[in-house]
Structure 1
Amino acid sequence: MAELDELAPIGRNRWPWFLVVLVLIGLAFYALQPILLPFVLGALVAYLGDPVVDAMERRGMGRTLGVCIVFLGLTSLLVLSVLVTLPALIHQLNALISKIPAMYAWVTETLLPWVQQRLSLSEAQLPAFDWSAQLADNWQSLGKVTAKTLRDITGSGAGILLWLFNLALAPVVAFYLMRDWDILVAKLLRMMPRAWQDNTVSMVGEADEVLGAFIRGQLLVMLSLGIIYSLGLWAVGVQLALVLGMIAGLASIVPYLGFIVGILSSLLVAYAQFQDWSMLLLVALVFAVGQVLESVVLTPVLVGDRIGLHPVAVIFALMAGGQIAGFVGVLVALPVSAVVMVFLRHGVAHYRASDLYQGQ
């Protein structure tokens, strides 16, 4: 007991240094976030591919060869997906852009008067725009929209080159991180104080389970929902099925947001296309089936209940990450939040077992 009493102040003295290191890491992340995108994307790809490479390594295959095979498979899947979906996506986006004036006219001339009549509101109209001039200047094709967006984001030719360099750098970073992933993790764990290493390994394993459930599972859920919604809307006959379905699938990263955004936008597009209320029932049925499949099959099987993030916490994490570090912050917001939740659960358990909580 005397030895433990002597070691206790030493253990307590580690915490200020640990907190200082965390603050320095946060400041470095904030200061360097303009150049972190390829490293964040590379780390994401490496984390997703590491279990596959580990499985190949256990079967006697060299790790470098396993990394090459995984990269070849991911590249082939990406190229195939682009070749299959990109032409249809561009065609449907162009169709969506061309329908904007008609949809706006339907809202102002049909929907708004109907709502005003039912709710006995005062007559008010949305501002009128010369949509023909707008289309002629800016919205004639998806190419012009994309070019304008790129100019706004990059601001110059040098910015475009930097963006392309970052995009090309991400696979290189992913390759080396995936090859040395286990070595890097082991080195980081060995840098922890010896008295913390056993507990750190346990918590890192739990955090890895949570991250795996989120990153691998949630991405598969989003992709599956996008496919389900797209196929369902295509079967109903909605012209913008692929765009609407994929938007709903991507938005499902926030619980229930994908369903809400998808069904509202799909109902609006379906009515503008068919002018038939019965078609709205079919669109609602598509999203009802998708929601049931997500709740009963997709989320329990692919994700489970291991993340433990409340929907409000998910929204806050995404907004806070975007505010602090832009797109890079959005990418790392939920994984960091999931890991923080693991450590908070252990911290709360330690607090409830302490004299501070249980004492008089």
Structure 2
Amino acid sequence: MAVEAGKEPSAHKEPGTSFRRKMIFLAVVLVLGLAYLLRGVLVPLFLAFLLAYALDPFVDRLEAMRVPRALGAILVMLGILGLVTVGMIYAVPLFVDEVADASSKLPDQVAHLHGRLEPWFAQKLHVKLPHTMGDLSKVVSDRLQTGDAYETARTFLFGTIGYVGVALSALIVPVFALYLLIDFDRIVHRVEQLVPRRWAAPISDVARQIHKTLSGYVRGQLTANIVLAALYATGLRIVDVRLAVPIGVMTGILAFVPYVGFAIGVLLATSMAILDWQGPGTLVGVIAVMGGVQIIDAMIITPRIVGRSVGLAPLEVILTMMAAGSLFGFLGVLLAVPLGAVAKILIQRAVKAYLASDFYGRGPKRAPLAPIVGSGGSSSLTPPPRAAAKGKPS
């Protein structure tokens, strides 16, 4: 059959194109699923990558000064370790003095607290608190003999394994970071070589924008941690909480792990306020300080400092953290801001490509003009006649 005039034959599709796209999509889904299953293992690796990413410019500068890459990475890591050591030399004595002072008063504070709580527990809950360590050991022994020994041992075992895992992760992060620093440029170059040549230019442009965003995230997160540590320590010092500076600094440093630093800070500060009981005012002050700084962090510090550094508006940061937390739990909240920034870059690129595509810019098709030959043989282009309305004579 002859092809009708005005229509072009449809383009022949390659038989392998559809299959190849399906395989690529399946591979991406499998990689994402594997990453989700290994999310616990990926956390220390991600932290090591952030550390190496933050220190890579310093290693590049040393390499520009003709220092070997491996030696430069070791020197930078030793420099960071030296700064931490010097800070600990000046900070640890202050912490030790406060801890020693609190420890010397701890027995009297525990005895005083026991004397206040024992009547209340006896009257309200009908529970007798142990007076000595011997009494406490007897309570634990009785609990183990009531049939809960298996559950108690199981809880203790898994708790111990969890703490050991955290300690190993803390030791693994610097080691991973050192190896990543040594091979950072080589890894980037190998990844660039795997990119198809026809996509190399746009992907390199996107990669540079992501690099700028992630480096801004690292700087913003470090700034936010310092600000939070200062706010927590100052606030707890004002309400006269023992060990205010160590608790505040620890809470601020751990703030990059959502909710963990805040929970530890609340637990320690509340415990100090209860042990050094001077009335409900101190406890109320602790709750006000911790809650107030947390609100400031959620509404101002993280959206403004961290969010602005990665190009996210405050509302976008909050929504990203909520969505990532509901989908991936703790790991999602931990990675919400950097991954949200990367996703925003990719979405902006996709929207830009869509607006420049033929699919978006192509207008509606118009009916072709029909030639009409006049009596003199001349032709003119006029729109085709409209169809006669139904019910009317032609």
What TM-score, normalized to structure 2? Answer: 0.59
Aligned partner of 1:222 among 221, 225, 229: 225
Cα displacement (A) at 1:39: 3.0
- Aligned match of 2:177: 174
> Partner of 1:237: helix, strand, or coil?
coil
Cα displacement (A) at 1:338: 2.7
- Please show how residues 317-332 of structure 1 align to structure 2 within 5 Å: 317-318=324-325, 320-322=327-329, 331-332=334-335
Counterparts of 2:54 and 2:195, CA distance in 1? 25
8 Å Cα contact 1:317/1:334 also seen in 2: no
In the alignment, structure 1 segments of 5+ residues that lack a partner are 110-124, 139-147
- Aligned match of 2:214: 211
The question of 1:311 aligning with 2:318 is answered yes
Counterparts of 1:164 and 1:254, CA distance in 2? 15
- Aligned match of 2:240: 237
Residue type at the aligned position of 1:70: V
The question of 1:54 aligning with 2:54 is answered no
Change in CA separation of 1:81 and 1:129 when aligned onto 2, cut-off 3 Å: farther
Change in CA separation of 1:172 and 1:151 when aligned onto 2, cut-off 3 Å: same
Counterparts of 1:224 and 1:71, CA distance in 2? 24
- Please show how residues 194-343 of structure 1 align to structure 2 within 5 Å: 194-242=197-245, 245-246=248-249, 249=252, 273-275=277-279, 304-308=308-312, 309-318=316-325, 320-322=327-329, 331-343=334-346
Change in CA separation of 1:304 and 1:166 when aligned onto 2, cut-off 3 Å: closer
Counterparts of 2:185 and 2:18, CA distance in 1? 30
Cα displacement (A) at 1:90: 6.9
Higher helix share: 1
The question of 1:73 aligning with 2:76 is answered no
The share of aligned pairs that are identical, in percent, is 25
**Which is worse superposed, 219-228 or 236-245?**
236-245
Residue type at the aligned position of 2:310: R
- Please show how residues 92-171 of structure 1 align to structure 2 within 5 Å: 132=130, 136=136, 151-155=157-161, 160=164, 167-171=170-174
8 Å Cα contact 1:259/1:291 also seen in 2: no
Counterparts of 2:65 and 2:196, CA distance in 1? 34
> Partner of 2:83: helix, strand, or coil?
helix
Aligned pair count reads 325
Change in CA separation of 1:322 and 1:259 when aligned onto 2, cut-off 3 Å: closer
8 Å Cα contact 2:213/2:309 also seen in 1: no
Cα displacement (A) at 1:76: 2.4
Counterparts of 1:275 and 1:238, CA distance in 2? 12
What TM-score, normalized to structure 1? Answer: 0.63
Cα displacement (A) at 1:242: 3.6
Write the deviation string for residues 156-186 of structure 1: whole angstroms up to 9, x where unpaired. Answer: 9xx94x7766554433322121011122112
Aligned partner of 1:185 among 167, 188, 199: 188
Query: How large is the Cα RMSD of the aligned pairs?
Result: 5.5
Residue type at the aligned position of 1:42: A
Cα displacement (A) at 1:192: 1.7
8 Å Cα contact 1:321/1:332 also seen in 2: no
Write the deviation string for residues 206-244 of structure 1: whole angstroms up to 9, x where unpaired. Answer: 112221222231133123311332034224422252465
Write the deviation string for residues 28-59 of structure 1: whole angstroms up to 9, x where unpaired. Answer: 32344454455333323211211221232234
Counterparts of 1:49 and 1:17, CA distance in 2? 37
